[in-house]
Amino acid sequence: QEEHQKHAYQSDVARLRKIVINSLYSHRDVFLREIISNANDALEKLRLSSLTEPDVLTGAEQMNITIKAVKDGESAGRLIITDTGIGMTPEELKNNLGTLAKSGTSEFLSRAESDDSSGNGNLIGAFGLGFYSRHVSFLCNIFLVADRVEVASLAARTSKNPAPAQYVFSSGADENSFDIYVDPRGNTLGRGTEITLFLKGDAVNYLNEQTITDLVNKHSSFSTTFPIYLASKRTEFVLDEEANEEPAHEEKKSQVEETPKADVDEDEAVIEDVIEKEEKVKKSPKTKQIQVDEWLRLNSQTPIWMRDPKTVSDEEYETFYQATFKDYEKPRAWTHFQGDSGSGVSFRAIIFVPSRLDDDYWQNPLQSVTKDIRLMVKRVFITSDLGEDALPKWANWVKVVVDAEDLPLNVSRETLQNNAFLKQLRGIILRRLLQLLARLQEEDAEKWAHIEETFGNVFKLGAVEDRKNRDKLVNLVRFATNQRNSTSLDQYLENKKQGQDKIFYLADMGKSAHELAGSVFIEKLHARGYEVLLLSDPLDEVFITNVRRWKTIGFQDVAKTGLKFGDEVWLSNLMLYAETDPEEEKAERATLTEKFEPLIDWLRKEVREKGAARDVIISNRLVISSCAIVADESGYTANLEKLISSSHA
Ligand code: ADP
Ligand code: MG
């Protein structure tokens, strides 16, 4: 292993930094949350690998995160965050930290920059904060508050790597390269990672203990199950002779850990005794004040999902969600419940609906992988990867924490896949999610409007994909019509005219509902008071073709021949707004057909020669327009044809 290596960052660093600085500056607080979240991940990885390889635990007994602000002395201005997690080898330091942009980011940034309407590189408005955590490394955040960062790391001991050495990754905020070298201090860490931030002049407020405590409380305290300690100074009064003794920092730390303050169960008399002695010492002329390091535990002991939902505030749910799922945006809705699976496993869970879909959700419409079902057993994180079939595609954006009481702790991936509880979990999550959505649709118009905007198409996809839940999903789908902005199919049926035995729709992707409302195909129906669904999204037609009927009533494309009004097939007439009876219309059609026969014959010949249409007929379907091209009843509509040819392209 070379002692000292210099490497260039892999991505377009300058460009990325510019975007991050422009967009993220006012949110730079999140650097601490990102560091703690990585530390938590590293501790989770350690715990998981210790199940199969107990050796990884050697070097450091505790699994925790510590934060230390250095305010004076030579190293003043540094903030040091340390974890005793899995650590990184020098190769991992290079590969994990040397890539400021994650895979796929380059293309995303180009797209984002070209879509950026503000033109100033502030992409938060356009894409939401969420895209940063998916595309930008935590180091980019760090460089908003620090001129320089040093990451010292000592990988956990494994059979493959039995004698790891501590290495340092070091880089300045404006540099295009980074250094990796053996830590000159030796293996000081025991195990894990120590991140030292050399804070910028305008970021020294992050040394303030109260600021740190507030940030951790807000962003990390509920989501991090490992203890987080903050080094703080406590003033002690000691007699002068003793004052020369150096406080033993490291020892003090583990002492406090073993006997956290809250648990010290002292008798009141004993406490009074101690106070009395302290007072004596304070008054003595020989007394001197010294500062002693103390480790304060910052995060609450009871994770949020274990608490009674009535005692958890909205803000607590929101910050928990943001920290746990690395979303900069708040969740749109959530449901928190406990239950018993059919197989006798009791569990608690929170299901969150995010406020947006991933940018690439629609790029792989049928791929179904979710990494956001965090399964825990008795508070211990087990996995967030429940395999390919964890949830159907339509629901794979849902974010879940679930904590089961009686699963074996050392369940491996393979056994997980066959576990009865996990097989039921999918159904439980979907049922609760659909209940939550149905309730919001009923009770909260404003929230529902947002959900519909984000997930409207997802529900259509679901109705096509998820037969088991089809009816519930169809109930969530809404369409614009010629009569109103939004209707469910149930509402449509309530509003149908007597004798109407079809759900009418007109589909043309790319056209707005407003444009469709003015279409020639709607004129007659509209004039007669029929409601027509206006479908402007490609998925609408896929939805209708797959769902086929709702409450036994089929769909009728009004742009196809054979359109029926009520029970009869109404034949042709060219009269405006005519409400004539069918017999009269039939007769009239005969007259008109005869009268226009030469024209029809000529048109027929023309269009057939050019292959433009199959037939030309006189029709009663138009009210104002003089002609329309319609699809054959059995054929694809122009819209579906467009969709099919684009998906084959
Ligand atoms: P993400 O957490 O989404 O993977 P980050 O940019 O936050 O991305 O971190 C990049 C990678 O650096 C992590 O995936 C992890 O491999 C590594 N890493 C960061 N911090 C630590 C740490 N404290 N201990 C071990 N590995 C870490
Ligand atoms: Mg991270």
Question: pLDDT, tens digit, for every residue of 540-584?
Answer: 888 998 888 999 999 988 887 656 554 333 332 222 223 445 566
Model confidence band, residue 252 (pLDDT cutoffs 50, 70, 90): very low
Residue 128 has a pLDDT of: 57
Give the H or E element holding residue 235.
strand 228-239
> From the CB of 85, is ligand 1 less than 6 Å away?
yes
Confirm or reject: Cβ of 137 under 6 Å from ligand 1.
Answer: yes
Q: Where are the beta strands (DSSP E) in 200-286?
A: 228-239
Q: With a 6 A CB cut-off, is 34 part of the ligand 1 pocket?
A: yes
* Better pLDDT: 492 or 628: 492
Mutate to test the pocket of ligand 1, among 35, 38, 105 (most ligand atoms within 8 A of CB): 38
C-alpha of residue 363 to centroid of ligand 1, in Å: 26
pLDDT digits (tens, 9 = 90+) for 466-475: 999 999 999 9
User: Which of these ranges, 312-326, 415-429, 456-470, has the smallest mean pLDDT?
Assistant: 415-429
Binding site feature residues for ATP: 34, 38, 83, 88, 96, 102-104, 193, 413
Instruction: Name the more confident of 137 and 261.
Output: 137
Annotated binding site: 34, 38, 83, 88, 96, 102-104, 193, 413
- Ligand 1 atom nearest to CA at 86: 25
Task: Say how far apart CA 161 and CA 53 lie, in whole Å.
Answer: 12
| Token output for 625 | 């327009």
Query: What's the mean pLDDT in 221-239?
Result: 82
Report the C-alpha gap between 332 and 356 in whole angstroms. Answer: 8
CB 464, CB 543: distance < 8 Å: yes
User: Does pLDDT of 188 surpass 80?
Assistant: yes
pLDDT in the model for residue 629:
65
pLDDT-wise least confident of 195-209, 245-259, 599-613, 622-636: 245-259
Task: Confirm whether the ipTM is greater than 0.95.
Answer: yes
Q: Give the pTM.
A: 0.64
Q: Of the given ranges (304-313, 475-484, 606-615), which has the lowest mean pLDDT?
A: 606-615
Mean pLDDT within 434-443 = 96
Q: Is 36 in the pocket of ligand 1 (CB under 6 A)?
A: no
How many CA atoms lie within 13 Å of 403's alpha carbon, on the beta-carbon side? 17
Q: Does the beta carbon of 225 sit less than 6 angstroms from any atom of ligand 1?
A: no
Of ligand 1's listed atoms, the one at least distance from the Cα of 45 is: 25
| pLDDT top residue among 414 and 392 | 392
Two tokens, residue 637? 């509509």
